[in-house]
Structure 1
Amino acid sequence: MTAMSVPQATSPDGQKPSIGQTTDNLLLDGRVHLRQPLNGYRVAIDPVFLAAATPARDGQTVLDLGCGAGAAALCLLARVPGCHVTGWELQPELAELARENSARNDVRERFAATCRNGLERVSANHGRFDLVMTNPPYLADGQATPSPTAGKSLANQESEGSLQDWLCAALHYLRPGGHLSVIHRADRLHELLAALHLRAGDIAVFPLWPRQGQAARRVLLRARKDSGAPTRLLPGLELHGAGQHFTPEADAILRKAQSLCLD
């Protein structure tokens, strides 16, 4: 484990997030090497599913809005090595980790991470990307007590903007007809759909069920900018079978880098 020392952002409560020690972890059964903070925001399965649901092809450009340490971008490149990913991350230390992880996985020419507030829409990048994928903070501002770890609080709780701000920014950077992929809490699906109303269509909603008979906690959502096609609710996927074992369908995504078709 190593200590990081780079310029620091400031959280809403004035604390300076510190990455501190990091750990080395593997995703996709060892295809992706990820260094991430020991404390603070830690990668789970969400970015892996987000990457699997992003329908990129070789030669296309992808924006990872709020890329963190680069987990989703690296998982996407493991499956689609010919695409090009730009990562924007608000926290300088996480952006530095994303650049380090890009080098560790030998994809520096295809994954460039920058410290940037992607919610500040810049005209120079308007309509630039073929696809945008994002994993916005799950908690609305004021909905819960912020984590005492400033970096984790910035990753988990809205501070720079609302969920609608995130989706509007994503669509701003997306070319006409391009695809947006999002993973978020199932209980905020109504907010996701409201933010996309009249801005995108051909919306596919894909629930992730913890196991059979249990309510979904996460949803994957894919939309096409400027489309008028109707919204579709798909069957979704059960994550766990007996005990804590992943189902074969979930395991194929989490370990074998299989894509997730939302068509």
Structure 2
Amino acid sequence: MSKLRKTGFNLKPGERLDDLVRNDLKIIQRPGSFCFSIDAVLLANFASVKKGDLIVDLGTGSGVIPILLTTRQQVDHIIGIDIQAEAVDRAVRSVAGNGLQGLITIREGDIRNASAELGLGKFDLVTANPPYLPAGQGKISPNKEIALARHELCCSMEDVLREGARLLNSNGRLAMVHRPERMVDIIFTMKRYGLEPKRLQLVYPALGKKPNILLIEAIKGAMPGLEALEPLLVYDEQGNYTKELMEIYYPGR
């Protein structure tokens, strides 16, 4: 944790403060705009985080992934970058409210230019929860923030993987959450940019349901060899969170 003291959360009209249930961390969200979901929590838990890591979170939104990553290991620093000024503003205030200014920096910027802005080959880990849907697929939300978070309007999966590969040092890791139906494209594109897929996990809503979340991690310049992890179920037969999911959401309880 940062040595800076918490400053209190500066909420604006229409915003709420959500409890992240870890280290007394909280986050500012605005109902009606894009709010983080289980995808971000799963990614923050899935990514391989090592002590001293220098990390970039591409498309950081509310800043939830950088904030959660601070509970994993004593990392060097985390940079979150997002193109949306309103989301960046909330993330900056969440970081300050949690006293994490010395550990997390939130920047407004375009993922498509991330390596030019942040530097080539400097980072140990890149995380990303990018838009899942191509621009021509599905109904685009009239809410700009939600539209940009869900559809590839300003950033595609290839943009994320290209820039992630450029940001990473040799043997650096890229962890991403996406949709299972895009697995082939993701793996193909990773390998195209020198990212070798090493760990993969499918998340199922419940037994008998199709997987709806894909977690995947690649290493830059690694030898081939993909480990498929045990599938993760979200709900049990009674409709409650499974033990595995509870351990992710409420560690130590």
* 2:226 pairs with 1:231: yes
- Structure 1 match to 2:102: 109
- Structure 2 match to 1:72: 65
- Structure 2 match to 1:12: none
- Structure 2 match to 1:187: 181
Aligned counterparts of 1:30 and 1:210: Cα–Cα separation in 2: 27
* 2:236 pairs with 1:241: yes
Q: Which runs of 5+ in 1 are unaligned?
A: 4-20, 259-263
Q: Secondary structure at the match of 1:38?
A: coil
- Structure 1 match to 2:210: 215
CA 29–130 in structure 1, closer or farther in 2 if over 3 Å, else same: closer
Among all aligned residue pairs of Structure 1 and Structure 2, give the percentage whose two residues are the same amino acid.
24
Shift of 1:212: 1.7
Shift of 1:166: 1.4
Shift of 1:123: 7.0
Q: Note if contact 2:51-2:74 (Cα within 8 Å) is conserved in structure 1.
A: yes
Q: Secondary structure at the match of 1:55?
A: coil
Shift of 1:85: 0.6
- Structure 2 match to 1:7: none
Shift of 1:236: 1.9
Aligned counterparts of 1:200 and 1:130: Cα–Cα separation in 2: 13
- Structure 1 match to 2:18: 25
Could you tell me which amino acid in structure 1 is paired with residue 68 of structure 2?
C
CA 31–54 in structure 1, closer or farther in 2 if over 3 Å, else same: farther
- Structure 1 match to 2:7: none
CA 227–202 in structure 1, closer or farther in 2 if over 3 Å, else same: same
Q: Which runs of 5+ in 2 are unaligned?
A: 1-10
Aligned counterparts of 1:214 and 1:124: Cα–Cα separation in 2: 41
Could you tell me which amino acid in structure 2 is paired with residue 89 of structure 1?
D
User: Which contiguous aligned blocks of 4+ residues in structure 1 show a shift greater than 4 angstroms?
Assistant: none
The C-alpha deviation readout for 1:59-91, integer Å capped at 9, x for no partner, is 211100110011111111122244421000110
Aligned counterparts of 2:250 and 2:118: Cα–Cα separation in 1: 38
Could you tell me which amino acid in structure 1 is paired with residue 242 of structure 2?
T
- Structure 2 match to 1:49: 42
Shift of 1:160: 1.8
- Structure 1 match to 2:12: 2
- Structure 2 match to 1:128: 122
Shift of 1:115: 0.3
Pick aligned residue for 1:158 from 149, 152, 163: 152
Aligned counterparts of 2:252 and 2:196: Cα–Cα separation in 1: 27
Could you tell me which amino acid in structure 2 is paired with residue 59 of structure 1?
G
TM-score between both structures, scaled by the size of structure 1:
0.86
Could you tell me which amino acid in structure 2 is paired with residue 37 of structure 1?
R
- Structure 1 match to 2:51: 58
Shift of 1:209: 1.2
CA 139–87 in structure 1, closer or farther in 2 if over 3 Å, else same: same
* 2:171 pairs with 1:177: yes
Q: What's the C-alpha RMSD, in Å, of the aligned pairs?
A: 1.8
CA 123–93 in structure 1, closer or farther in 2 if over 3 Å, else same: closer
- Structure 2 match to 1:138: 132
Shift of 1:43: 1.2
Q: Note if contact 2:54-2:75 (Cα within 8 Å) is conserved in structure 1.
A: no
Q: Note if contact 1:127-1:172 (Cα within 8 Å) is conserved in structure 2.
A: yes
The C-alpha deviation readout for 1:88-113, integer Å capped at 9, x for no partner, is 01101111111111011111100000
Aligned counterparts of 1:160 and 1:206: Cα–Cα separation in 2: 27
The C-alpha deviation readout for 1:122-154, integer Å capped at 9, x for no partner, is 076111110000000011111112101111101
Aligned counterparts of 1:220 and 1:79: Cα–Cα separation in 2: 17
Q: Secondary structure at the match of 2:239?
A: coil
Pick aligned residue for 1:250 from 227, 245, 249: 245
Q: Counterparts of 1:72-111 in structure 2 under 5 Å?
A: 72-111=65-104
